[in-house]
Amino acid sequence: MTIAVALANDSDLVINGLRAMLAPYRDRVLVAAAATGDPDVAALPDEVGSVDVLLLDTFARADGGLNAAAMLLSQDPPFRVVIYTDSEAERHVLKALRLGVHGYILKSTPAEALVGVLERVSLGEVVVSGDLASRAARFAASPAETEPWPGARLGLTRRESEVLVLAAEGRSNEEIATKLYVGLETVRSHLKHLYQKLGINDRAAAVAIAWQEGLAVREPVDRLDG
Protein backbone atom coordinates (compact mmCIF):
# COMPACT_ATOMS: atom_id res chain seq x y z
CA MET A 1 0.00 0.00 0.00
CA THR A 2 1.36 3.41 -0.97
CA ILE A 3 0.81 6.07 1.70
CA ALA A 4 0.25 9.74 0.87
CA VAL A 5 2.52 12.13 2.75
CA ALA A 6 2.49 15.90 3.14
CA LEU A 7 5.71 17.78 3.94
CA ALA A 8 5.99 20.98 6.01
CA ASN A 9 8.95 23.26 6.63
CA ASP A 10 9.88 26.96 6.57
CA SER A 11 11.97 26.51 3.41
CA ASP A 12 11.15 25.24 -0.08
CA LEU A 13 14.78 24.13 -0.33
CA VAL A 14 14.37 21.79 2.64
CA ILE A 15 11.08 20.46 1.30
CA ASN A 16 12.72 19.72 -2.04
CA GLY A 17 15.47 17.89 -0.18
CA LEU A 18 12.89 15.74 1.60
CA ARG A 19 11.17 15.02 -1.73
CA ALA A 20 14.48 13.85 -3.17
CA MET A 21 15.21 11.68 -0.14
CA LEU A 22 11.82 9.94 -0.36
CA ALA A 23 11.79 9.66 -4.17
CA PRO A 24 13.51 6.22 -4.30
CA TYR A 25 10.63 4.85 -2.19
CA ARG A 26 7.81 6.17 -4.38
CA ASP A 27 6.28 2.70 -4.50
CA ARG A 28 5.72 2.98 -0.73
CA VAL A 29 5.46 6.74 -0.10
CA LEU A 30 3.90 9.41 -2.31
CA VAL A 31 4.57 13.08 -1.52
CA ALA A 32 1.12 14.52 -2.19
CA ALA A 33 1.35 18.03 -0.69
CA ALA A 34 3.68 20.56 0.91
CA ALA A 35 3.47 23.63 3.16
CA THR A 36 6.20 26.23 3.73
CA GLY A 37 5.18 28.18 6.86
CA ASP A 38 2.93 28.14 9.91
CA PRO A 39 -0.07 29.71 8.10
CA ASP A 40 0.29 27.16 5.30
CA VAL A 41 0.61 24.34 7.84
CA ALA A 42 -2.57 25.51 9.58
CA ALA A 43 -4.42 25.51 6.24
CA LEU A 44 -3.38 21.97 5.31
CA PRO A 45 -6.49 20.19 6.66
CA ASP A 46 -8.67 22.28 4.33
CA GLU A 47 -6.38 22.29 1.32
CA VAL A 48 -5.08 18.75 0.94
CA GLY A 49 -7.02 15.82 -0.35
CA SER A 50 -6.47 12.33 0.97
CA VAL A 51 -3.22 12.51 2.96
CA ASP A 52 -2.23 9.86 5.48
CA VAL A 53 0.72 11.48 7.28
CA LEU A 54 2.22 14.97 7.65
CA LEU A 55 6.00 15.04 8.13
CA LEU A 56 6.68 18.29 10.01
CA ASP A 57 10.35 19.20 9.56
CA THR A 58 11.35 21.54 12.40
CA PHE A 59 14.35 23.12 10.69
CA ALA A 60 14.89 26.75 11.83
CA ARG A 61 12.08 26.60 14.38
CA ALA A 62 13.34 27.67 17.81
CA ASP A 63 10.36 26.04 19.52
CA GLY A 64 11.16 22.65 18.03
CA GLY A 65 8.11 22.86 15.74
CA LEU A 66 5.78 22.33 18.68
CA ASN A 67 3.81 25.54 18.15
CA ALA A 68 3.07 24.58 14.55
CA ALA A 69 2.11 21.06 15.67
CA ALA A 70 -0.18 22.42 18.39
CA MET A 71 -1.88 24.79 15.95
CA LEU A 72 -2.42 21.98 13.49
CA LEU A 73 -3.55 19.30 15.95
CA SER A 74 -6.08 21.68 17.50
CA GLN A 75 -8.00 21.35 14.23
CA ASP A 76 -8.23 17.56 14.57
CA PRO A 77 -6.77 17.02 11.07
CA PRO A 78 -7.69 13.94 9.02
CA PHE A 79 -4.05 12.84 8.86
CA ARG A 80 -1.41 11.82 11.39
CA VAL A 81 1.42 14.18 12.38
CA VAL A 82 5.08 13.18 12.67
CA ILE A 83 7.71 15.64 13.95
CA TYR A 84 11.02 15.32 12.11
CA THR A 85 13.75 17.02 14.11
CA ASP A 86 17.30 17.30 15.40
CA SER A 87 16.13 17.98 18.96
CA GLU A 88 16.69 15.18 21.47
CA ALA A 89 15.43 17.33 24.38
CA GLU A 90 13.20 15.20 26.59
CA ARG A 91 10.90 18.16 27.23
CA HIS A 92 10.29 18.47 23.47
CA VAL A 93 9.43 14.79 23.17
CA LEU A 94 7.13 14.92 26.18
CA LYS A 95 5.30 18.03 25.02
CA ALA A 96 4.95 16.64 21.49
CA LEU A 97 3.38 13.43 22.79
CA ARG A 98 1.07 15.42 25.07
CA LEU A 99 -0.05 17.44 22.04
CA GLY A 100 -1.00 14.19 20.32
CA VAL A 101 1.64 13.77 17.63
CA HIS A 102 1.93 10.28 16.18
CA GLY A 103 5.69 10.27 15.73
CA TYR A 104 8.84 12.02 16.92
CA ILE A 105 11.68 11.10 14.60
CA LEU A 106 15.29 12.26 14.58
CA LYS A 107 16.85 13.43 11.32
CA SER A 108 19.66 10.98 11.87
CA THR A 109 17.17 8.21 11.00
CA PRO A 110 18.14 6.59 7.67
CA ALA A 111 15.73 7.10 4.77
CA GLU A 112 14.67 3.45 4.68
CA ALA A 113 13.86 3.52 8.39
CA LEU A 114 11.98 6.83 8.01
CA VAL A 115 9.77 5.32 5.32
CA GLY A 116 9.11 2.40 7.67
CA VAL A 117 8.11 4.83 10.41
CA LEU A 118 5.69 6.63 8.08
CA GLU A 119 4.12 3.29 7.19
CA ARG A 120 3.76 2.26 10.84
CA VAL A 121 2.26 5.63 11.76
CA SER A 122 -0.24 5.37 8.90
CA LEU A 123 -1.40 2.07 10.41
CA GLY A 124 -2.09 3.66 13.78
CA GLU A 125 1.17 3.28 15.70
CA VAL A 126 2.88 6.04 17.68
CA VAL A 127 6.62 5.89 16.95
CA VAL A 128 9.44 7.68 18.77
CA SER A 129 13.10 7.46 17.74
CA GLY A 130 15.48 5.27 19.71
CA ASP A 131 15.32 5.60 23.47
CA LEU A 132 13.71 9.05 23.42
CA ALA A 133 10.37 7.72 24.67
CA SER A 134 11.86 6.09 27.76
CA ARG A 135 14.05 9.13 28.42
CA ALA A 136 11.02 11.41 28.20
CA ALA A 137 9.10 9.12 30.55
CA ARG A 138 11.90 9.26 33.11
CA PHE A 139 12.04 13.02 32.70
CA ALA A 140 8.30 13.33 33.35
CA ALA A 141 8.44 10.98 36.34
CA SER A 142 11.33 12.71 38.11
CA PRO A 143 9.77 14.82 40.87
CA ALA A 144 10.68 18.50 40.73
CA GLU A 145 10.97 18.68 44.51
CA THR A 146 14.04 16.40 44.44
CA GLU A 147 15.94 18.72 42.11
CA PRO A 148 19.11 20.12 43.64
CA TRP A 149 18.08 23.47 42.07
CA PRO A 150 15.32 24.64 39.70
CA GLY A 151 16.36 23.80 36.16
CA ALA A 152 18.57 20.83 37.02
CA ARG A 153 16.21 18.51 35.13
CA LEU A 154 16.81 20.61 32.03
CA GLY A 155 20.54 20.06 32.29
CA LEU A 156 21.27 23.59 33.51
CA THR A 157 23.87 24.48 36.10
CA ARG A 158 22.78 26.28 39.25
CA ARG A 159 23.98 29.64 37.90
CA GLU A 160 22.38 29.09 34.47
CA SER A 161 19.12 28.29 36.23
CA GLU A 162 19.33 31.48 38.28
CA VAL A 163 19.94 33.52 35.14
CA LEU A 164 16.99 31.85 33.38
CA VAL A 165 14.61 32.48 36.28
CA LEU A 166 15.61 36.14 36.49
CA ALA A 167 15.27 36.57 32.73
CA ALA A 168 11.80 34.99 32.90
CA GLU A 169 10.87 37.48 35.61
CA GLY A 170 11.54 40.24 33.12
CA ARG A 171 14.91 41.46 34.33
CA SER A 172 17.45 42.90 31.91
CA ASN A 173 20.97 41.54 31.57
CA GLU A 174 22.22 44.50 33.59
CA GLU A 175 19.76 43.79 36.39
CA ILE A 176 20.66 40.10 36.40
CA ALA A 177 24.36 40.99 36.67
CA THR A 178 23.63 43.28 39.63
CA LYS A 179 21.42 40.72 41.33
CA LEU A 180 23.98 37.92 41.02
CA TYR A 181 27.06 40.09 41.62
CA VAL A 182 28.64 39.09 38.31
CA GLY A 183 29.77 40.92 35.20
CA LEU A 184 27.55 41.62 32.21
CA GLU A 185 29.64 39.40 29.95
CA THR A 186 29.21 36.55 32.44
CA VAL A 187 25.44 36.89 32.19
CA ARG A 188 25.64 36.86 28.39
CA SER A 189 27.83 33.77 28.53
CA HIS A 190 25.36 31.95 30.81
CA LEU A 191 22.50 32.87 28.46
CA LYS A 192 24.43 31.57 25.46
CA HIS A 193 25.15 28.27 27.19
CA LEU A 194 21.60 27.73 28.42
CA TYR A 195 20.25 28.49 24.93
CA GLN A 196 22.49 25.74 23.57
CA LYS A 197 21.42 23.27 26.25
CA LEU A 198 17.72 23.98 25.69
CA GLY A 199 18.03 23.82 21.91
CA ILE A 200 16.75 27.36 21.36
CA ASN A 201 17.99 30.57 19.79
CA ASP A 202 16.65 33.50 21.77
CA ARG A 203 15.51 34.92 25.09
CA ALA A 204 11.79 34.68 24.29
CA ALA A 205 12.02 30.93 23.78
CA ALA A 206 14.01 30.58 27.02
CA VAL A 207 11.38 32.54 28.94
CA ALA A 208 8.61 30.39 27.46
CA ILE A 209 10.40 27.24 28.65
CA ALA A 210 10.84 28.71 32.14
CA TRP A 211 7.09 29.34 32.32
CA GLN A 212 6.21 25.92 30.90
CA GLU A 213 8.50 24.15 33.36
CA GLY A 214 7.23 26.10 36.35
CA LEU A 215 10.54 27.84 37.00
CA ALA A 216 8.98 31.30 36.96
CA VAL A 217 5.59 32.98 36.92
CA ARG A 218 4.29 35.63 34.55
CA GLU A 219 4.20 38.55 36.95
CA PRO A 220 5.63 42.08 36.69
CA VAL A 221 9.00 42.38 38.36
CA ASP A 222 9.87 45.04 40.93
CA ARG A 223 12.81 47.17 39.92
CA LEU A 224 16.04 46.51 41.79
CA ASP A 225 17.01 48.96 44.47
CA GLY A 226 20.39 49.82 42.97
- What is the domain-level CATH number for residue 67? 3.40.50.2300
CA distance 167 to 208: 10
Domain presence at residue 89: yes
pLDDT confidence of 224, banded at 50, 70, 90?
very low
Look at residue 29 and tell me whether its pLDDT is greater than 90: yes
- φ/ψ of residue 154, rounded to 5: -90, 0
DSSP annotation of 79: S
Question: What is the span of the domain harbouring residue 159?
Answer: 145-212
Domain presence at residue 93: yes
Q: Each residue of 117-161: pLDDT tens digit? A: 999 999 988 888 887 877 776 666 555 555 677 778 778 888 998
Q: Each residue of 210-220: pLDDT tens digit? A: 877 777 644 43
Q: Collapsing DSSP states into helix, strand and coil, what is residue 109?
A: coil
DSSP E strand stretches across the chain? 3-8, 29-35, 53-57, 80-85, 103-106, 127-128
Number of domains in the chain: 2
pLDDT confidence of 104, banded at 50, 70, 90?
very high
79 and 125 belong to one structural domain: yes
Domain presence at residue 109: yes
Domain presence at residue 225: no
Q: Report the pLDDT value the prediction gives residue 147, as an integer from 0 to 100.
A: 64
Give me the half-sphere count of Cα atoms (radius 13 Å) on the Cβ side of residue 128.
Answer: 19
Percent over 70 (pLDDT), the chain? 86
Kindly report each contact of residues 200-205 with a partner whose C-beta sits within 8 Å and lies 24 or more positions away, as own/partner.
200/62, 200/63, 201/62, 202/62, 203/167, 205/62, 205/63
Q: Report the pLDDT value the prediction gives residue 62, as an integer from 0 to 100.
A: 58
Domain presence at residue 101: yes
27 and 89 belong to one structural domain: yes
Q: Report the pLDDT value the prediction gives residue 144, as an integer from 0 to 100.
A: 54
pLDDT confidence of 223, banded at 50, 70, 90?
very low
